[in-house]
Amino acid sequence: MAQTKSQPPTLLVVGDSLSAAYGIPQETGWVTLLSQRLDSQARVINASISGETTSGGASRLAGLLEKHRPDIVILELGGNDGLRGLPPQQMQANLNSMIEQSLASDAEVLLVGIDIPPNYGQAYREAFGQVFQKLADEYHLPLLPFLLDGVALKPELMQDDGIHPTAEAQPRILDNVWARLTPLLREAGVSPTDAPQAKAYQAEPSS
C-alpha cells in the first residue's frame, strides 16, 4: 500500500542468521546495506534472529505486524528447518500462515528461498526447495529462489562454517534481493533507480 510522501513506507525483514548478520559486523549485513541504499526513501526494520525457524517466525509475526505496520514484508526463513531435517509440509504450513497474516495486514510479501546441502538427500532437498515455489505460485508472490545465489559456491565468500556468508558477500546478497524487491518498492511509492548504491563494503579492503 503506497504511503504519502511525508511518510516513507516500512519494510519488515523476518529472517534467520542469513539476515541477522551472523558472524560479521552488523553494519555490513545486507539488511543494513538495504537501508543505506534506500536512504530516507523507506524505513527498514530487521526482525531477523539467528537460529530462527519458520515456527518461531510464525509465532512472532502477529506482534511484529501490529507494532511496525509494514508496507512490505520480506520473509527469509526455512534454512534452519532444513538443517534440522524438519518436514517440508510443516515449513510450508508455517510460511503459509506468515504469508496470510502479512497479506491480511495489507502488506506486500517478498518470499526468499534457500537451499540446503546435498548430504540431506536429493528427495528431501527437492521437496524442501519446492515449498517456496508452491507458495509463490499459490499467492502470486515475487520469489527470490535462492538468497545466496552467486555466493554459496564461492569459498572466499563464505565463513569457515560453510553456511554463513562473509561481509564481502553481503553486497551481492543485497543485489539478489534488490532485483525482486524493486517492483514492490515502486508500488509503495519509492523510486529505486534514484536510490544510492551500497558498494562501500565491496570497495574498501579490510585493514
Closest of 15, 31, 105, 20 to residue 62, by C-alpha: 105
* Contact criterion met (CB below 8 Å) for 147 and 173: yes
Catalytic positions are: 17, 161, 164
Q: Which residue in the block uniquely carries the three cell numbers 538495504?
A: 34
Cα separation, 45 vs 70, whole angstroms: 9
3-class DSSP string for 92-161? HHHHHHHHHHHHHCCCEEEEECCCCCHHHCHHHHHHHHHHHHHHHHHHCCCEECCCCCCCCCCHHHECCC
